[in-house]
Amino acid sequence: MVFRLFLLLLSQATLGLLGGAWLGWPGAVGGVVLAALLMLALDSWRAGRVLRWLGQADVTDVPVLRGLWGEAAYRALRALRAEQQKTRDSDERLREFVSAIQASPNGVILLDPDGRIEWCNDIAARHFGIDPQRDLLQHIGNLVREPAFAAYYAGKDYERPVKVIGREDKPGHPVKLSVQLHSYGGGHQLMLSIDVTALAQADAMRRDFVANVSHEIRTPLTVLAGFVETMQSLPLDARERERYLALMAAQSERMQTLVNDLLTLSRLEGSPPPGASDVVELGALMAQCEAEARGLSGLLHPPDGKPQQLRFGAPPPFQLAGAEGELRSAMSNLINNAVRYTPAGGSIDVRWEQLPDGRARMVVTDTGPGIAPEHVPRLGERFYRVDRSRSRESGGTGLGLAITKHVAQRHGGELQISSQQGRGSVFALVFPAQRVRALPPPAVAVSAA
């Protein structure tokens, strides 16, 4: 600023002296005024360049100017670059925030004060069948037509979430959602949806478990109490007393079997998975299961009637690392179930095989009545029965497949089930390749010389 003032005074003095020497005092005054006008014109030209530069879309091409306007252009460029950097940082934070919401396992929908969708993540789109592009600015009530949500939204009481059925809900594959609205800035609303299917199923299983245990134990206890009261109050001959005692023993054995299965499940859930150091000889285990199955088949379908056809494959050419007692329980449960539910004259095939990827698989195929598709996903649940009356007639507790499923999972494998009504079922235990061991070479006998 001092330099500009000095330059103005210097130019006025120079032109004033020149004007005075040429035209006298009028020339001196004219020179001073001319110098001021020239300085004003120069400033106006520089100001015009700066203004034209600021009006361009690309402000990086800053004009090269001297003096005050050059300094102003430089400082304006620095301020613009700082603002652009802040904008880029804000955009980056916004992208990170959106990415975080997209990665959330919960659905998120942003609603404007009128209830129209401003944005939603992919999880919410899947929960409610929303197209994130097509359905923008659509009213949420037009897209989520679940009656429970409609009443919740209209009630304006969002202190607690509401449970609704998800768009992907299908028979055999239920989907339950917990939805809650949260108000924020200026009447906008944040709508959160959480998939609570697993929690709902766990809660239902817990209720069913308590009810089933109570029912399974109460039934034999009622029978026992009735027999005890009868024996205490009525005179019975030896034959009647013997028959009542046999029935009481059967009910007692039924309760004992139930308690043992419950203890087995509790032990499986509370103990660490079996190690890989113990190797199980599957051929010997298959022989035990075969003897047990043939005895059960002979008991249920005597030879004088129409016997079942039980076919057991050759001993597998491999061993399995795991807990022998658990594997025997899982194998016998599958085989004995097939024997119980396959009618007289039907066939049951049991075999071991090694899959191309190295996994081991035990397959039990029967020609029983088959299972409806809606029941198959729940067969590993405790006490779940397709036909309760037939299960009790065959002596099952409803825990066999639950034990089998736990054993498979503890060994890193899985229980596979496929069935067709009227054609039979296929139950398979699949174990990972890490637990498969080759059979040791047979010992070579050395004859004494």
pLDDT digits (tens, 9 = 90+) for 134-168: 888 899 988 888 889 999 988 888 888 999 888 77
Least confident interval from 147-161, 353-367, 377-391: 377-391
CA 293 to chain centre: 39
pLDDT, mean over the chain: 80
- pLDDT category at 193 given cuts 50, 70, 90 is very high
- For residue range 414-433, list pLDDT tens digits in order: 999 998 888 899 999 999 99
Which two three-digit tokens encode residue 229? 């009261």
What mean pLDDT comes out for the span 57-76? 62
pLDDT at 178 over 50: yes
Least confident interval from 25-39, 215-229, 399-413: 25-39
What mean pLDDT comes out for the span 6-26? 65
What mean pLDDT comes out for the span 91-95? 80
Q: Which of 246-255, 382-391, 402-411 has the highest mean pLDDT?
A: 402-411
- For residue range 300-345, list pLDDT tens digits in order: 777 667 888 899 999 999 999 999 988 998 999 999 889 988 988 8
What mean pLDDT comes out for the span 347-362? 93
pLDDT at 391 over 60: no
The length of the chain in residues reads 449
Show the 3-state SS of the chain. Answer: CHHHHHHHHHHHHHHHHHHHHHHCHHHHHHHHHHHHHHHHHHHHHHHHHHHHHHCCCCCCCCCCCCHHHHHHHHHHHHHHHHHHHHHHHHHHHHHHHHHHHHHCCCEEEEECCCCEEEEECHHHHHHHCCCCCCCCCCEHHHHCCCHHHHHHHHHCCCCCCEEEECCCCECCECCEEEEEEEEECCCEEEEEEEECHHHHHHHHHHHHHHHHHHHHHHHHHHHHHHHHHHHHHCCCCHHHHHHHHHHHHHHHHHHHHHHHHHHHHHHHHHCCCCCCCCEECHHHHHHHHHHHHHHHHHHHCCCCCCCCEEEECCCCCEEEECCHHHHHHHHHHHHHHHHHHCCCCCEEEEEEEECCCCCEEEEEEECCCCCCCCCHHHCCCCCCCCCHHHHHHHCCCCCHHHHHHHHHHHCCCEEEEEEECCCEEEEEEEECHHHEEECCCCCCCCCCC
High-pLDDT (> 90) share of the chain, %: 21
The residue with greater pLDDT, 325 or 17, is 325
- For residue range 245-301, list pLDDT tens digits in order: 888 888 888 788 778 878 887 777 777 888 888 898 999 999 999 998 888 888 777
Residue 89 confidence (pLDDT): 80
Question: Which 8-state DSSP code applies to residue 402?
Answer: H
What mean pLDDT comes out for the span 70-87? 73
Least confident interval from 26-35, 85-94, 187-196, 337-346: 26-35
In order of their start, the domains of the chain are 2-98 (no CATH), 104-195 (3.30.450.20), 210-271 (1.10.287.130), 273-449 (3.30.565.10)
Residue 174 confidence (pLDDT): 80
- How far, CA to CA in Å, does 228 sit from each of 244, 249, 251, 259, 285? 9, 12, 12, 22, 41
Place of tokens 């919410």: 124
Beta strands 309-312; 347-354: pairing state: parallel
Beta bridge mates, 132: none
What mean pLDDT comes out for the span 167-186? 83
pLDDT at 352 over 90: yes
